[in-house]
Amino acid sequence: MSELGKERIMKRIPVVIFGAGGVGAALLRQIVDGRNRVAARNQYRFEVAAVTDSRSCLFAAEGLDDAALLAAVERKRQGLAVAEGKRPSEIEIIDRARQAGWEKGIVVDVTAVDGMEPVLDHALAAGYGVALANKKALAGPWQTAQKYFNHSRVRHESTVGGGQPVIATLRYLLDVNDPVYEIEGQMSGTLGFICGQMDGGIPFSHAVREAKELGYTEPDPREDLSGKDVMRKALILARMAGWPLEEADIEVESLYSPELADLSVPEFMDAAAGLDETMRLRVATAQTEGMVLRYVAEVADGRGVVGLKPVPAGSALSSLKYISFRTGRYDDEPLLIGGKGAGVEMTAAGVLGDMIDLAREEL
Amino acid sequence: MSELGKERIMKRIPVVIFGAGGVGAALLRQIVDGRNRVAARNQYRFEVAAVTDSRSCLFAAEGLDDAALLAAVERKRQGLAVAEGKRPSEIEIIDRARQAGWEKGIVVDVTAVDGMEPVLDHALAAGYGVALANKKALAGPWQTAQKYFNHSRVRHESTVGGGQPVIATLRYLLDVNDPVYEIEGQMSGTLGFICGQMDGGIPFSHAVREAKELGYTEPDPREDLSGKDVMRKALILARMAGWPLEEADIEVESLYSPELADLSVPEFMDAAAGLDETMRLRVATAQTEGMVLRYVAEVADGRGVVGLKPVPAGSALSSLKYISFRTGRYDDEPLLIGGKGAGVEMTAAGVLGDMIDLAREEL
């Protein structure tokens, strides 16, 4: 078959990408770098019709070419907006893609903003698929979030496990009718790092500072230390498994005390030393019993707990970032997905996998 | 929407199942038990048009009803044939389903026999999907096996990992263009059990006998101890990952010596005691270095090794049945799938998952 012949059976799939931060930029690079692989394995070509950041939008009805996508990545790296000028609303951007003749396509949310629900609803109503790395819509009140769970055109692998095939595994267990009794895991690489440092006697505040300097934390480390992001992951898994929990049903232990909430980031980094002694005692107490502290999320029927927990030192579960499912069939040892890799690249890969999955199954 | 209305959009998918042993019987039960779940989640109904064993075939063009499927399971449990009389060839059975008007459907191979390739080829040429728990066709010479790898209508989750989503995970890594450098794992629950018993000082031959009595081994335990089944799994993973290995490229350590190959099973069970002292010394040597022996498969570019290997005692990898992937992005710790559950039920669930996957993507 000629090259021309091959081109003709390639399925072109328009993609509208909201968000051009770390994950968004990695996704654009992966779309460009993976074109040949995706074409060879699946006969798809993702046409990126739009890329936005909070300020601006790069748009090309027929799909931005690779040079334009890589230029956008470079602009973001330099701290610039993705394009000149102000952008239309997300809904207007989706409508522009539709008006260009794309009847089916994929809307990607790799922002971290609240309030994307109307945008997602608009995309779904238009027959588009949705791929989410942004957890907010799935972790909102059940009444609004419910419609995204088990919707055939919603994918969200990267919301939990950062690219590990956790959502796909849970979907498989539900498909084959294996009852899920309990979901457990260490769902934060950042908190796993901090706990691991404390094992070795490093004070809590030093471990937090080190994690921040290595770029493992959010710019404000309290966003990690609050446990709220882990709570959202636990909530998403619980809801998928069939338990319609709300935020309030999950007990969350914050790793900083409430009086530190209103400090500036530099003030907090200094004040965190005040937490060291309490934490040192907890670590030491655990160690006298052969345990180490890990930040663990546990979800079972009707409730969830997220916080520090003693785990046997040297055990599989003390040394892995993992999520496990105890089910009717996985009775001896729970089904476990573990491993640790390259942050935003893996998260972006999860989104790309979702896009391929949507193209295979739904578009 | 009325119940009638719901029925009307249900997609009916014919299934021809070759094999009614442990996995086949479990699959039939799961198809019956999972009907409501599969219908509610995916709007599919699997119509089992045929079930065969080596001698006979149960056939109903419109799909066997649940009572007939469960009766077949019961007949097998009693050691009877699945139906009266002799059966046509596999190809004739597929053609009977096609002649009944089923243009698309799924052929399932849950036998353990050689030589199914012409049957699979016939099904694929007819536009049917194929779901395999039988490893033989995938582990044969590359020249004949090649066409089944990355064929859009071939699924084989249960050939490796016995129901753990190992194949799905590797497919995902390949989809998203993450280069796979090495695949490693403990791929035999039976050999894992025997190794674990030896950790505690139990002689090799006693551990083998115990595994046999618990039903963990094949009727002839040498089929497990030879490592050949693990080799086939390693070969399948290697080929999926893009390395076109042959059997001869994988070095396999058998856990019994060649002179025991021709004994009867009872003779072998007695003679196995002659292996105890050598094995005891190997275990003891490993233990002086803080290690335990595990039966590990390792595959990397161009070669594979399957055999006993010292692994740090108490480590995650000494205590899990797992498969791991070291990739470009999983650089800190490989992506790992672990867990252990209910044998044939999980294998059957893997096949059911493949059927759902084929229905979603291809049929």
Catalytic residue among A233, A309, A321, A340: A233
Instruction: Indicate whether A231 and A115 sit together in one domain.
Output: no
CA atoms within 13 A of residue A229's CA, in its CB half-sphere? 23
B169 touches chain A (CB under 8 A): yes
* Residue B4 CB neighbour total at 10 angstroms: 7
| A271-296 residue pLDDT tens | 999 999 999 999 999 999 999 999 99
Those of residues 220-249 in A touching chain B at CB distance below 8 A are none
Q: How does DSSP classify residue B103?
A: -
**pLDDT interval class at A3 (50, 70, 90):** very low
Does residue A57 carry a pLDDT above 90? yes
The CATH number covering residue A100 comes to: 3.40.50.720
Nearest to B349 among A176, A314, A331 (CB): A176
- Burial (Cβ within 10 Å: 0-12, 13-18, ≥19) of residue A40: exposed
Name every chain A residue with its beta carbon within 8 A of the beta carbon of B361: 360-361
φ, ψ of residue A99 to 5 degrees: the values are -65, -25
φ, ψ of residue A280 to 5 degrees: the values are -60, -40
Distance from CA of A33 to the nearest CA of B (A): 8
B164 touches chain A (CB under 8 A): yes
Q: Name the token pair of A192.
A: 């796993």
Name every chain B residue with its beta carbon within 8 A of the beta carbon of A349: 176-178, 329
Angle, alpha carbons B178-B179-B180 (nearest 5°): 110
pLDDT score of B9: 77
A335 touches chain B (CB under 8 A): yes
Does residue A6 carry a pLDDT above 60? no
Residue with tokens 């007695």: B270
Q: How many residues does chain B have?
A: 363
The overall average pLDDT reported for chain A is 93
pLDDT score of A132: 98
Which residues, 6+ apart, have CB-to-CB distance to A228 below 8 Å?
A252
Q: Name the token pair of A323.
A: 């999520």
Those of residues 1-60 in A touching chain B at CB distance below 8 A are 30, 33-34, 37-38, 41-42
Distance from CA of B127 to the nearest CA of A (A): 17
CA distance B174 to B81: 42
Instruction: Indicate whether B159 and B59 sit together in one domain.
Output: yes
Name every chain A residue with its beta carbon within 8 A of the beta carbon of B169: 165, 168
Which residues, 6+ apart, have CB-to-CB distance to A192 below 8 Å?
A186, A294, A295, A321
| A320-359 residue pLDDT tens | 889 999 999 998 789 999 988 768 999 999 999 999 999 9
Q: Does the distance separating the beta carbons of B352 and A176 come in below 8 Å?
A: yes
Distance from CA of B201 to the nearest CA of A (A): 22
* Residue B242 CB neighbour total at 10 angstroms: 12
Q: How many residues does chain A have?
A: 363
Indicate the SS3 state at residue A243.
coil
Nearest to A330 among B314, B319, B339 (CB): B339
CA distance A330 to A179: 10
A267 to each of A224, A261, B68, how far by Cα in Å? Answer: 17, 10, 72
Q: Does the distance separating the beta carbons of A316 and B316 come in below 8 Å?
A: yes
Instruction: Indicate whether B155 and B288 sit together in one domain.
Output: no
Q: Does the distance separating the beta carbons of A321 and B339 come in below 8 Å?
A: no
Give the residue from A7, A18, A28 showing the smallest Cα distance to A345: A28
Instruction: Indicate whether B351 and B323 sit together in one domain.
Output: no
Domain assignment of residue B327, yes or no: yes
Read off the pLDDT of each residue in A4-20 and give the average, rounded to a whole number.
79
Q: How does DSSP classify residue B361?
A: H
pLDDT score of B342: 66
Proportion of chain A above pLDDT 70, given as a percent: 98
Residue with tokens 């404000």: A220
Q: Does the distance separating the beta carbons of A174 and B169 come in below 8 Å?
A: no
Domain assignment of residue A170, yes or no: no
Does residue A215 carry a pLDDT above 90? no
**Order of strands, sheet of A250-252, starting from the edge strand that comes earlier in the sequence:** A250-252, A303-312, A291-300, A180-185, A322-327, A333-340, B333-340, B322-327, B180-185, B291-300, B303-312, B250-252
The CATH number covering residue A318 comes to: 3.30.360.10
User: DSSP labels for B251-312?
Assistant: EE--SS-GGGTTS-HHHHHHHGGGGHHHHHHHHHHHHHTTEEEEEEEEEETTEEEEEEEEEE
Q: How does DSSP classify residue A107?
A: E
Nearest to B176 among A325, A331, A352 (CB): A352
Residue A331's closest chain B neighbor by CA? Answer: B341
Instruction: Indicate whether B238 and B260 sit together in one domain.
Output: yes
Catalytic residue among B76, B135, B136, B233: B233
Instruction: Indicate whether B196 and B144 sit together in one domain.
Output: no
| A177-213 residue pLDDT tens | 999 999 999 999 899 999 999 999 999 999 999 999 9
Instruction: Indicate whether A79 and A225 sit together in one domain.
Output: no
pLDDT, one tens digit for every residue, chain B (363 residues):
334 444 447 899 999 999 999 999 999 999 999 998 888 888 899 999 999 999 999 999 999 999 999 999 999 999 999 998 899 999 999 999 999 999 999 999 999 999 999 999 999 999 999 999 999 999 999 999 999 997 999 999 999 988 899 999 999 999 999 999 999 999 998 999 999 999 999 999 999 999 999 988 988 999 999 999 999 999 999 999 999 999 999 999 999 999 999 999 999 999 999 999 999 999 999 999 999 999 999 999 889 999 999 999 987 778 888 999 999 999 878 999 998 876 899 999 999 999 999 999 888
Instruction: Indicate whether B223 and B154 sit together in one domain.
Output: no
Domain assignment of residue B172, yes or no: no
Give the residue from A59, A60, A48 showing the smallest Cα distance to A24: A48
Are the beta carbons of B131 and B355 closer than 8 angstroms? Answer: yes
Nearest to B339 among A317, A334, A342 (CB): A334
pLDDT score of B199: 95
CA distance B41 to B349: 16
Domain that holds residue B247: 180-338
Q: Name the token pair of B324.
A: 């791991």
pLDDT score of A342: 66
pLDDT score of B162: 82
- Burial (Cβ within 10 Å: 0-12, 13-18, ≥19) of residue B77: exposed
Instruction: Indicate whether A158 and A279 sit together in one domain.
Output: no
Q: Does the distance separating the beta carbons of A164 and B168 come in below 8 Å?
A: no
Helix axes A343-361, B166-175, angle to 10 degrees: 100
Domain assignment of residue B262, yes or no: yes
Name every chain B residue with its beta carbon within 8 A of the beta carbon of A331: 341-342
Which of A172, A214, A323 to mutate against chain B (most B CBs within 10 Å)? A172
Nearest to A349 among B176, B356, B361 (CB): B176
Q: Does the distance separating the beta carbons of A349 and B329 come in below 8 Å?
A: yes
Instruction: Indicate whether B154 and B296 sit together in one domain.
Output: no
Chain centroid offset of residue B174 CA: 21
Q: What would you measure as the largest C-alpha separation in chain B, in angstroms?
A: 71
B138 touches chain A (CB under 8 A): no
CA distance B181 to A51: 33
Domain assignment of residue B171, yes or no: no
* Residue A2 CB neighbour total at 10 angstroms: 7
Domain assignment of residue B169, yes or no: no
Domain assignment of residue B175, yes or no: no
Q: Does the distance separating the beta carbons of A316 and B315 come in below 8 Å?
A: yes
Distance from CA of B361 to the nearest CA of A (A): 5
Domain assignment of residue B173, yes or no: no
Residue A171's closest chain B neighbor by CA? Answer: B353
Instruction: Indicate whether A251 and A323 sit together in one domain.
Output: yes
CA distance B236 to B234: 5
Per the annotation, the verdict on B233 as an active-site residue is yes
Instruction: Indicate whether B246 and B227 sit together in one domain.
Output: yes
Q: Provide the number of structural domains found in chain B.
A: 2
**pLDDT interval class at A2 (50, 70, 90):** very low
